[in-house]
A and B are shown apart, each in its own frame.
Chain A
């Protein structure tokens, strides 16, 4: 085997390996991120899975639970109810959420309590035992009841003692209280109060911790299937289940849904990108194999004349392709796993679960399957084409032996079917998968035509310098397939720049500069008459002038009716695939005079508050979920008063801003007089200031609760910027695949190029002329591909950003720079591919051919 040939086999392997590496890397990385997210979500819910039931679980249900429980899972029962708490000393009463827990609470995170009312020197909750008759309460309750640690607290008819305040309670994270502050008590003590007796509105919680955070979702789904539960169940007063069999299942992941969903989609998208990178590599395989076969046509024809059946020769070629595919798969899998490990190392600190990270064997195996199928399919095309070959025609020196068009067509149909199947498998969606392949075929075809016209035009450009002109003329070299190179490079640069645009938007949306004005503290339960005082206090004491406040009105969603379907039956209307369970549930309403900074209208018009009509503005995804459209009538019950509101606008909301935003906004005039509380978002503060502000607010406004969200904001932000790094890696993979294909296509004409270079040297060309010619040829090719790729990136980026609810901004200068960069990269790649050709001694012109 000659050096040139072994080089080409390596190139074949690399073409395949790049796509596989991208795929394995994406597979393992999304797995790692998913696990990290799930892990982070655990303490928010206090479990991986929460089973909420209105009745104690039946023996049958318990059996089902233990049957479906994976090994290593732990469970813990809790009892929740809403009741009045009375402070015997002050005679103040307040609504509280009581949670009765068993030994072992909480499953995740740490429970820390303090005797000190300011929360200093917290420690473990020692008094949470059956005989202690003690409770721990949220600090806000002390203020509301004018009570202190050590005071008696009456629940029902039982008198208990306040043993301390809750400083850290993992279960509180998922839902900051709605009905009242939490009272944590030992389960046996709660039972002894009689409040949880038969007929009481109690919720029975079974908290489940699985060994691996990623198991939670699967177990939850199995349970839902077993009990025929919807994914989301409405919970009503006191968190009781208000739909179906009175049982509901929540997972930790659901409590971080918006973030999780973004990463899921990102994973789908990156998987598809790596599939495309693999298909690009496949084009490289096809051109390399075509060159390989073309050079061996003579030998193949001679073998045929000597009696070897063509079928056997083709079989040999297929086996070789298979071996190369496997080698590419192995190499790619190894590199992908390596890169993924590198990314995980870079992400250390961002990914708390990174330590229990291991190679994803599933992703590796899938990568091998992809490698094998793509290599064999793409190698098949040039091999099939020679099946119509007449050996005599070849030996006569016929330059273009007849090729089998029918077989090639059959190949095309089969290949498209196979790739569609792969894309469907990768995207978990028939529509997305087939759309992807359809748009690849369509876009590739268009690029082929436009690129072909562009190449023909470039080849005819008369530049004054001979080297440059010769380079451009070479774009029309017979046997050279610059079309294929233009299509692959433009696709690769399309992926790269789309990823760049997307990453830009993401970064812009959630990255550093934006985070600078994220809120760090939230305050809830501000009474309407406290608003001005609250604002004034912050302005005076802390010079905080930009406190954003929003009203909150609790209502019950009674129904949705479409004027088109006439009937106004509650909880009927157009059901669609909407979430029936969200009917009749508690809904937080709000109002604002004008659209907030984190919102933009995607349909309809912003409400006009001057008339009598009540208008509603819905968040886009929420509207989709409940199946609401412009013009529909929403009915809400606000403490017995019914309000009908017409949907007049749909909004996209940037939830990640962490500022107060709402699914449903109604006309201000409809809500202004309803019972309400206000929430406030305090601007960014340094950590020391945050604690100080929290302490002062607690002193001054004891009934107002504050939450520190700065850590969540920082976590999301830095995670996003690290994820951006991963996106860039994948973008580079696809560009590398494109470059490999370019090199492969360039090398398929190496023989002709050698001959030309030798001749030019004989005719007086210096090395620089030859280099210039190569640079012109591949630079022009790359420039054309780059421009086409950037032009195609605009609609794709638009589709992508709208899917992710990001505003589209087309960075024209970035796209131009990218097109230029693609041209330079191609020029360099072409030069590297052909530099050996330039070393041909001029004497070669007298030899061979």
Chain B
């Protein structure tokens, strides 16, 4: 039997706005096994990023429960969560989010050093090689193209060997060719690692590459289906 790396039960998020209470998410439940790749799709504003933020422990839910590797996020302090994220989770964002003052290699090293990995430098170099950026390690983000920056972000996400990789619209800021290259690299490396991928996207072509697709609409889970690609 496969181990559940993520369990979400009756998850809800409510924001107080000037127009009154707003339920951004409500009653969302699903379970993800280790090694799965799950695409979360839905129209803009449907609550995809909110869901991602909650399961990564970046925000706390208004209702429901989240277990990551059988640990309840609600019971963890901010700093314990930060440490947990640094060790067990990797992130890729639409706008790359590299630290502008650190070189590519240093950016990859950030989560390794924060979680006290001893051979951070070699590991960072190795991962830059893996994403095809050997020799660009000393460059600052401002000297890299968008596609290159996103590959650095991928190396950074994968370097600590996390159990879960979160990607929020990873190709959203890339042109279609670079976007495809990026997606290829993402899927192949994640599969290589045996990590679990939670991929938020509104692009159907990209979502279709995941083994499973969860669709949100107005904060509710409206469909959860396995795709053909999901058979590895």
Contacts and interface: CB of A to CB of B under 8 A. Distances in A.
Contacts of A690: none
A475 B87 CA distance: 28
A843 B59 contact: yes
B101 A473 contact: yes
B110 A843 contact: no
Interface string A767-787: 101000000000000000000
B100 interface: yes
Interface in A801-849: 841-843, 845-847, 849
Contacts of A766: 79, 82-83
Nearest to A777: B101
Contact of B86 (A469, A477, A763): A763
Contacts of A763: 85-86, 91, 110-111, 114, 156
Contact of A478 (B91, B110, B142): B142
B106 interface: yes
A764 B114 contact: yes
A764 B52 CA distance: 16
A248 B216 CA distance: 100
B142 to A, nearest CB: 7
A746 to B, nearest CB: 14
A581 B79 CA distance: 82
Contacts of A760: 99, 110, 114
B199 interface: no
Contact of A755 (B78, B97, B102): B97
A764 B85 CA distance: 5
B58 A470 contact: no
Interface in A467-487: 469-470, 473-478
B36 interface: no
A459 interface: yes
- Which 7 residue pairs of A and B lie closest in terms of their CB atoms, listed nearest first? A764-B86, A466-B113, A843-B58, A764-B114, A473-B101, A842-B58, A843-B59
A73 interface: no
A600 interface: no
A843 B53 contact: yes
B52 A765 contact: no
Interface string B96-131: 010111100010001101110000000000000000
Given A469-B106, A764-B114, A845-B91, 18 more contacts: A466-B114, A470-B101, A470-B102, A478-B142, A755-B97, A760-B110, A763-B110, A764-B85, A765-B86, A765-B114, A841-B58, A842-B58, A845-B93, A845-B97, A846-B49, A846-B52, A846-B53, A846-B168
Contacts of A765: 82, 86, 114
Interface in A5-57: none
5 contacts: A466-B114, A470-B99, A473-B102, A765-B86, A765-B114
A493 to B, nearest CB: 25
B164 to A, nearest CB: 13
Interface residues of B, number: 31
A470 B78 CA distance: 21
Nearest to B120: A466
A466 B110 contact: yes
B83 A764 contact: yes
A804 to B, nearest CB: 46
B29 interface: no
B82 A846 contact: no
A225 to B, nearest CB: 65
Contacts of B46: none
A761 interface: yes
Interface centre among A476, A478, A752, A765 (most CB of B within 10 A): A765
A478 B100 contact: yes
A581 B109 CA distance: 81
Contacts of A846: 49, 52-53, 58, 93, 168
A763 B56 CA distance: 11
A802 B220 CA distance: 80
A759 interface: yes
A846 B170 CA distance: 12
Nearest to A399: B142
A762 interface: yes
A393 to B, nearest CB: 18
B137 to A, nearest CB: 14
Given A845-B93, A846-B58, A764 B142 contact: no
B101 A474 contact: yes
A459 B140 CA distance: 13
Contact of B114 (A476, A752, A769, A842): A769
Nearest to A844: B58
A849 B95 contact: yes
Interface string A69-83: 000000000000000
Interface in B140-170: 142, 156, 168
Contacts of B106: 469, 473
Nearest to A479: B100
Contacts of B84: 764
A755 to B, nearest CB: 7
Contacts of A476: 101
A459 B102 CA distance: 10
Nearest to B110: A763
Contacts of B156: 763
A764 B115 contact: yes
B56 A762 contact: yes
B13 to A, nearest CB: 11
Nearest to A761: B82
Interface centre among B52, B95, B100 (most CB of A within 10 A): B100
Nearest to A768: B79
A841 B53 CA distance: 11
A762 B99 contact: no
Nearest to A841: B59
A761 B156 CA distance: 14
Interface string A441-480: 0000000000000000001000000100110011111100
Contacts of B142: 478
A756 interface: yes
Nearest to A763: B111
Contacts of A470: 99, 101-102, 110
Contacts of A841: 58-59
B102 A762 contact: no
B82 A764 contact: yes
A845 B93 CA distance: 8
A473 B156 CA distance: 18
A803 to B, nearest CB: 45
A764 B89 CA distance: 9
A845 B99 contact: no
B112 to A, nearest CB: 9
Contact of A759 (B52, B99, B168): B99
Contacts of A849: 95
Interface centre among A764, A843, A845, A847 (most CB of B within 10 A): A764
A289 to B, nearest CB: 23
A843 B95 CA distance: 14
Given A478-B100, A756-B99, A764 B87 contact: yes
A312 B95 CA distance: 35
B41 to A, nearest CB: 16
Contacts of A762: 56, 58, 85, 91
B168 A477 contact: no
Interface in B207-231: none
Contacts of B168: 846
